[in-house]
Copies of this chain bind each other. A is one copy, B any other.
Amino acid sequence: MNTFDFLKPLIRKTDSKIVLFVCDGLGGLPKNGKTELETANTPSMDELASRSELGQLIPVIPGITPGSGPGHLGLFGYDPVEYQIGRGVLSALGVEFPIQPGDLGVRINFATLDADGNVADRRAGRIPTEENIRLLEKLKQIEMPEVEIHLLTEKEYRAVLVLRCAGLSSDLTDRDPQVTGVPPKVMKPNSSAAEKSAVLLNAFAERATEILKEEQANTVLMRGFAVYEPLPTFEEVYGLNAAAIASYPMYRGLGKLVGMSTFAVEGSLAEEIDQIEKIWDEYDFFFVHFKYTDSTGEDGDFDAKVKRTEEADRAVSRILDLGPDVLAITGDHSTPSNMMSHSWHPIPILVHSKNGRHKTVSGFGETECSMGTFGTIQTKELMPLLLAHADKLNKFGA
């Protein structure tokens, strides 16, 4: 039985409030016996740990390293294997494009072809973002009958193309050959449903190559095709009126995917907490995203990740001051500094509520979490637990 169908008759509306504080990439690996989280001076989280349930979350299945999309969908209770959000859609969300059901999102690389038409550089010498913007402006002259074409700059050589019309499909082969020395590939439909998409995209690529012929970036490579299919919303599946507070558009986009109201914050984590304070009375679920525990891990900077974790800790006491009924602190995946990448390691989780089972621990960290009262569960199993801790679930069966 589908978990959402199972939960539906059990959902109880109450006034209680849940805060899900996601420190991106929170989990780490030990250096001199301690992880980044264990090394950081985190008095608020450590004090809270002995009054909270601890455990560890497996993002997908053991051994699988998730991207931000599956990492967050799991946290939101959506099975990341069942609900796969394609790259093209995620990229569109990442630039805050208001994507609509049926839209086809496509990842674009500006690239360089040599005189023979073979790919010489898949990233066109990593052109700067301003150059990307200038080139996209030129491509905006491309028109096709009865198709809306949207072109959006991501960063450097990366852009997003969104096609909007009826009958689009993502079931086609890439234009990007993934290697140099060969020509870009003709995109081919894998099924008849994708014939229209293939015709449109091949025509777009041809026109773009013509327009760009005098440029260093003289073609576009395409991949990551994804048609946006709307997900059931937080209101529909949990009866929750949810808000997403994040400084990076991608994470607001992920919240929007599941029907959250989104709040952009330009600056620091402290400003994100300011924002929660402003809207505290209007929502019953708050997804708060902190990016820098991940980006410092990806930079391979153990000490910087420690510092960012300490910044996260300072936000915790301010969140507690708001009096949430449930506060969960976790990540969407681990990002160990020494791996300089996302990883598959379970993510430490702390859940504080009046209904918690707990024990005295040394603090909030991977080692304590591996022996926590929650045990080791899957990320997608977290949401029903948060609802239970917030008294938002009725008993199952007599």
Contact = CB atoms under 8 A, between A and B. Distances in A.
Interface of A: 1, 3, 6, 10, 27, 29-30, 33, 35, 56, 58, 60-70, 80-82, 84-85, 87, 90-91, 224, 336, 339, 341-346, 355-360, 366-367, 370-377, 381-389, 393-398
The 4 lowest CB-CB distance pairs between A and B, nearest first, are: A375-B376, A63-B384, A63-B388, A67-B397
Contacts of A393: 63-65, 344
Given A87-B398, A398-B90, A385 B29 contact: no
Nearest to A372: B370
B66 A396 contact: yes
B29 A65 contact: no
7 contacts: A6-B81, A65-B394, A68-B398, A84-B397, A336-B355, A346-B373, A370-B372
Contact of A62 (B70, B224, B381): B381
A396 B343 contact: no
A54 to B, nearest CB: 9
A375 B373 contact: no
A398 B345 contact: no
A116 to B, nearest CB: 31
Contacts of A84: 397
Contacts of A339: 355
Which of A84, A373, A377 gathers the greatest number of chain B CB atoms within 10 Å? Answer: A373
Contacts of A10: 64
Contact of A370 (B91, B355, B375, B381): B375
Contact of A385 (B62, B342, B355): B62
A368 to B, nearest CB: 10
Contact of A388 (B65, B82, B360, B383): B65
A395 B63 contact: no
B397 A30 contact: no
